[in-house]
Amino acid sequence: MNLRFGYGTNGFANHRLGDALSVLADLGYDGVALTLDHHHLDPYAPGLARRVSGLATRLMELGLSVVIETGARYLLDPRRKHAPTLLHDEREVRLDFLLRAVSIAADLGAEAVSCWSGVRPPAVDPQLAWDRLVDGCARLTEAASKAGVPVGFEPEPGMFVQDLAGWRTLHRALGMPRAFGLTLDLGHCRCLEPEPVADCVVAAAPWLVNVQIEDMRRGVHEHLEFGEGEIEFPPVLRALADTGYRGLVGVELPRHSHAAPDVARRSLSFLRAAAGQSGGAADRAPAQGQRAPGQRRPAGAVPAPDVLRAALAAVDDGGWLDEALRRVAADPSVISRLFPAAARRCGRGEILPGWTADEAARAVLLATLPAERAVAHARELYRHGDAAEKRAVLRALPLLPIGPSAVELLHDAIRTNDTRLVAAALGPYAAHLDAAAWRQAVVKCVFMGIPLTCVDDLDHRADSELAAMLAGVADERHAAGRELPDDAAALLAHLKAEKGI
């Protein structure tokens, strides 16, 4: 499919702009989402025209497209994040900034200027805030229309306009001008939209001028690397491509600047793999979005075997994996000697977020087994595996046609004190653990310092009994003058609020 991927410069906050562009172009990105900021093309610093012209040349040399983002945190006010917005008393400061952004976008040949409403200040009542927003957007859209650059207004969780319904209301209030479009963040859709992500894409298609992409979990507005959240991307990307959208699909990971080049590399290889195979996966994929209680989540954390296989193509193993897969297909028993050799042959580098080459290769080997042999071999390889092999088996279980029949491997892993094994046991296959065992394992994670992000389906599955257990841990910690880890404390607070404990 023909999607064009970009990357947000707010995810390169520790890079000079020129360096960030070079890195992204070298990695193979098609464009950048440029957040105007004090260190990235400051629109208030001297020499703006010269800098914009230099940047336009540089973008052309690198073959990068660009959209302009206006979400800098402290560009306008060094003390208050994002302030002032179009809702504040000092809203003219924001409007002036947005108009500058439109001019810069026009000079750079940008595909869109993106903006949001901001959070409503407590002192501004909702009706006044709405009137100010409509007025500001109308003036912005008029300028954008003259400059020939569309506005991409972005619903942002927690802000005054936070979802597609809010955008539609605003769009109507403005009189549906052509130059007022939509910036759709696919992670936000997973976070709070009532419809599955792919359905949001289809519904939003007529107005899309800019797309942002990252992984996310239901109800948690945290931009996550691909594979760490709940979105199954192949069907989403297929839906996006099928709408005929030709703008940039920009990775939005503003909190990953500390590792920007690696994150950008992994993100692009993930997106390419997800885009490359999405036809088949889309046919198989169950619908996304909110599930009925007890229904399995389509696991974004587990790429399909063909996605893993595609990502492994980048590994130089001298053809070992191809040969190994051929041999396993011909004689499943040979897997017992090929499985332990996978790390030596394919290496241990990360090829997709959360997936190293050895784990991916081992998962693909297991997925090659005939269905009727899969459980027996998985058990055998786990039983005789070193810690890395055991972990690879655990992570591959949800990919195998074995139903719940290997759940005893999870029990074994959870009995260990090896954080790598306990974490791997709480992936999507843990749906087969009964509630008591699952809660015990989650609380064990808290004790062992394992981040709860490793627990699949946590928000959906956490119940009042788990809350009571966590509260017990919290009491003991407090008695000892210690605190729960932040993630456990946040989960407990969330459960208390939700379950009314």
**Which residues sit at the interface with another protein, rule CB under 8 A?**
258-259, 336-337, 340-341, 343-344, 384, 386-388, 390, 416-420, 423, 449-451, 454, 485
CB nearer to another protein: give 260 or 400. 260
Q: Which is nearer to another protein, 165 or 341 (CB)?
A: 341
Distance from C-alpha of 79 to C-alpha of 33, rounded to nearest angstrom: 25
Q: Dmax of the chain from CA atoms?
A: 73
Rounded least distance, CB 454 to another protein, Å: 7
Is residue 286 within 8 Å of 196, Cβ to Cβ? no
166 or 385: whose CB is closer to another protein? 385
Residue closer to another protein by CB (options 262, 465) is 262
Least separation, in Å, of the C-beta of 449 and another protein? Answer: 6
What's the min distance (Å) between Cβ of 33 and another protein?
22
User: CA-CA distance, 295 to 303, in Å (whole number)?
Assistant: 19
CA dist 404 and 73 (Å) reads 47
Residue type, position 227, single letter: G
Q: Where are the alpha helices (DSSP H) in 222-259?
A: 233-242
Burial of 402 (0-12, 13-18, 19+ CB in 10 A): buried
Tell me the closest approach of the beta carbon of residue 445 to another protein, in angstroms: 10
- Joined together, the tokens standing for residue 154 give 């972005």
CA 290: distance to chain centroid? 17
- CA angle (383 as vertex; 439, 373 as ends), nearest 5: 100
Residues ≥6 apart with Cβ < 8 Å to 392 = 339, 342, 358, 359, 362, 363, 366, 385
Instruction: Say how far apart CA 59 and CA 168 lie, in whole Å.
Output: 34
Integer Cα distance of 246 and 240 in angstroms: 9
Q: By C-beta, is 80 or 415 nearer to another protein?
A: 415
Mutual orientation of helices 48-62 and 91-108 as an angle, nearest 10°?
50
C-beta closer to another protein: residue 246 or 384 = 384
Minimum Å distance from CB 255 to another protein?
A: 8
CB of 199 to another protein, least distance (A): 34
> Residue 244 or residue 449: which is nearer to another protein going by CB?
449
Is residue 463 within 8 Å of residue 478, measured between CB atoms?
no
Taking the complex as a whole, the smallest distance from the CB of residue 419 to another protein amounts, in Å, to: 6
Nearer to another protein, 2 or 417 (CB): 417
Q: Closest approach of Cβ 228 to another protein, in Å? A: 12
